[in-house]
Structure 1
């Protein structure tokens, strides 16, 4: 959630920037105060979206550290820098000159800076930190003991991982490119399959492989490049824009519909909070097609729903290809790109975005609403352990807080319910829960924890429990962490 929190800012900056400075997408000279300001906003927003993989490396490193210490973020950054440097295309060509004659393998290394590698680096950094943060070295190496040693360990692990990826990554990446080549000649069906796989692969960052097949000239297609070059169907052997058009109704209208369904399925006490997150995400998607704030908000907690979400993209891309709506994007399928691409020669029947958009809004809304309700999916605000609509209110006056009572939670009583501070081995928190590893879980008193202000207790395995606090868990966790 830490890197995801950066994305709404990106979307707002870029959306405003594109509106103020059309030349930032279409090309041409940028003159005047307003376009200049717009270009600054586009560049500022692009600094985040262009480096989302790096944000994931640092964010995952900090988020998965036992105590969320910033050292873990630095350790993850070290891992990211080593892996991406060792697997850069130019360096790989230096080690293996013959790869220059293998375009598919070379392309894989040209796309090494992706979210999948970022998450992998974050995991390496967090693991190194958690495992070695308390390790003492001999006196003559004492300077590198404990937290400082984690950076060294992370670096060594990353070298080994890079060595494995040197052989594995081109195979995985190449398989996706081959898949793209296989479906490129299927017309409307191929467009639907591509859109489905594009969304499905986003969590791993591997959608770049397919994008290079369909949008650029990796295998001679280049839907995006030919569209913005001012060409028409007569200049290419396929229906120009077919691999971009289907994203517009989904991103502009489908995501707002799905976001509304998630908000309405959320616990009534959390709807304002969820609306704040998903409302800005829906706006980002509508204006400039930035979908990550919405997608990463639920893809990991409700993977089934994400698969259906990807399937809806495939269905709408298929339908869009059949009805003849054609539009293109240089950034993503938002209203800004639709506005500017509608004047290009390859654009066709752009007015169809209205009926297509209405259909997308309704279908996304109904599908999300039915699936979340029927299967009680843990979307934001609807987590299974937080679904009691009328949970216990704060047990004390929230306006009168002390070191012992935070957000209605009695900290001393929580520790007592856990069997004492000395019973706590590791301590962390997610969006709503405290996550703990204990020495002896038989000492846990669930009634005492609930009396202290917890809304529930989940036993996750031997000596592993989660204490449900609610959306204000971070403040409670910070106070408890300071007392351990």
Structure 2
């Protein structure tokens, strides 16, 4: 029994590589495209500010961002293919059909139940648009569930054939027939279960807000830890756009939410130092520095015969995280293969935000290094103390390497 479980987990880990190995490619090209559309770089290099180069960058980034916006579908198909023992192409196609059935079934049930929110105001509601269909935001968790279910049913029934008039219903068609009621039922069940999970995450917001640095550490940890479920949006969104992230008067107007506050403070020349609420958007510390340390550690610990392959995966993943703050390529590389490391990464991310807060660093750092420079350098040292952000990041990079 134990050996069977271990073999199953190993097979699942190998199946994860099917979708995961696509992400570094997408992330690298997104970062490359952003170089041609970044406002700060266009000011430094005016020659790039023309319709051809900016158009190229916009098209390239938009095209590849679609990969990150549809990770649920990609994981559903990829995991199904990876776990299938036979007829893998048909298995992947069946998982695509199951995914489509699921999202439309959930949308229909939510609409019949009167649970669909205004599609123009989805931010922070726990719902999102998936392939143009409004459903609960389950992130890649949905893809993983459907991928595993589809593969299990495919392996069991893909060879089932019928005679005479029923012949067309055999093989992968029979698998799909079995999947239809399972998928529809799952969509209805998750419509009840997932909001409870989302509500639990939302209720943590008040606790985090009232818990000082302990709450801040929990905030930074959950913001990373919940990425595969899509629930991480429910962690940071209330702090960025509601009173949970602070209330501040700037220029005679009252602003709520960390991001709204620091945007107003950036534009007000009378503000000498950004308010402490900016710490809720210092999430980029692990994206810019932390994951580079993780990549270096994984490369150093790779077996000699695997180093070339590891280098090909890790270099573009680290570059993408550093430049653009796109972390999925590297985080998804070890999330399911080494879950303990992913938990450690999440804890260290929260701890790094606490250190920034203790040092009164007021730098804006939600994403990658390019955004960090553009936000903070023009504001100056006194207003942000941004060099300390970099110093903490470098120290944190060195800390990540041996721990990983």
**TM-score for both structures, normalised by structure 2:** 0.79
Which runs of no fewer than 5 residues in structure 2 stay unpaired?
1-16, 43-48, 129-135, 246-255
Tell me the CA shift for residue 204 of structure 1.
2.8
Q: Which residue of structure 2 aligns with residue 223 of structure 1?
A: 258
Q: Which residue of structure 1 aligns with residue 298 of structure 2?
A: 262
Q: Does 1:308 align with 2:344?
A: yes
In structure 2, do the counterparts of structure 1 residues 244 and 59 end up closer, same or farther at CA, with 3 Å as the change threshold?
same
Partner of 1:142: helix, strand, or coil? Answer: helix
Q: Which moved more, 1:263-272 or 1:185-194?
A: 185-194
Tell me the CA shift for residue 115 of structure 1.
0.7
Q: Which residue of structure 1 aligns with residue 168 of structure 2?
A: 143
Q: Radius of gyration: which is bigger?
A: 1
Q: Which residue of structure 1 aligns with residue 19 of structure 2?
A: 3
CA contact (8 A) 1:116 1:206 kept: no
Q: Does 1:338 align with 2:372?
A: yes
Q: Does 1:164 align with 2:182?
A: no
Q: CA RMSD in A?
A: 3.1
**C-alpha separation in 1, matches of 2:376 and 2:100:** 41
Partner of 2:299: helix, strand, or coil? Answer: helix
**C-alpha separation in 1, matches of 2:387 and 2:321:** 19
**C-alpha separation in 1, matches of 2:330 and 2:384:** 29
Name which of 39, 44, 55 aligns with 2:74: 55
Q: Which residue of structure 2 aligns with residue 36 of structure 1?
A: 55
CA contact (8 A) 2:21 2:333 kept: no
Name which of 96, 108, 112 aligns with 2:113: 96
In structure 2, do the counterparts of structure 1 residues 145 and 16 end up closer, same or farther at CA, with 3 Å as the change threshold?
same
CA contact (8 A) 1:181 1:213 kept: no
In structure 2, do the counterparts of structure 1 residues 155 and 320 end up closer, same or farther at CA, with 3 Å as the change threshold?
same
**C-alpha separation in 2, matches of 1:318 and 1:344:** 25
**C-alpha separation in 1, matches of 2:82 and 2:218:** 34
**TM-score for both structures, normalised by structure 1:** 0.67
**C-alpha separation in 1, matches of 2:115 and 2:401:** 51
In structure 2, do the counterparts of structure 1 residues 55 and 190 end up closer, same or farther at CA, with 3 Å as the change threshold?
same
**C-alpha separation in 2, matches of 1:344 and 1:57:** 44
Which runs of no fewer than 5 residues in structure 1 stay unpaired?
369-484
Q: Does 1:134 align with 2:159?
A: yes
CA contact (8 A) 1:8 1:293 kept: yes
**C-alpha separation in 1, matches of 2:221 and 2:168:** 52
Q: Which residue of structure 2 aligns with residue 199 of structure 1?
A: 224
Tell me the CA shift for residue 202 of structure 1.
2.0
In structure 2, do the counterparts of structure 1 residues 24 and 136 end up closer, same or farther at CA, with 3 Å as the change threshold?
farther
Q: Does 1:120 align with 2:145?
A: yes
Tell me the CA shift for residue 345 of structure 1.
6.2
Tell me the CA shift for residue 12 of structure 1.
1.5
Q: Does 1:108 align with 2:126?
A: yes
- Give the structure, 1 or 2, with the largest relative contact order (CA under 8 Å, sep 6 or more): 2
Partner of 2:362: helix, strand, or coil? Answer: coil
**C-alpha separation in 2, matches of 1:276 and 1:38:** 23
Tell me the CA shift for residue 344 of structure 1.
7.3
CA contact (8 A) 2:286 2:349 kept: yes
Q: Which moved more, 1:92-101 or 1:108-117?
A: 92-101
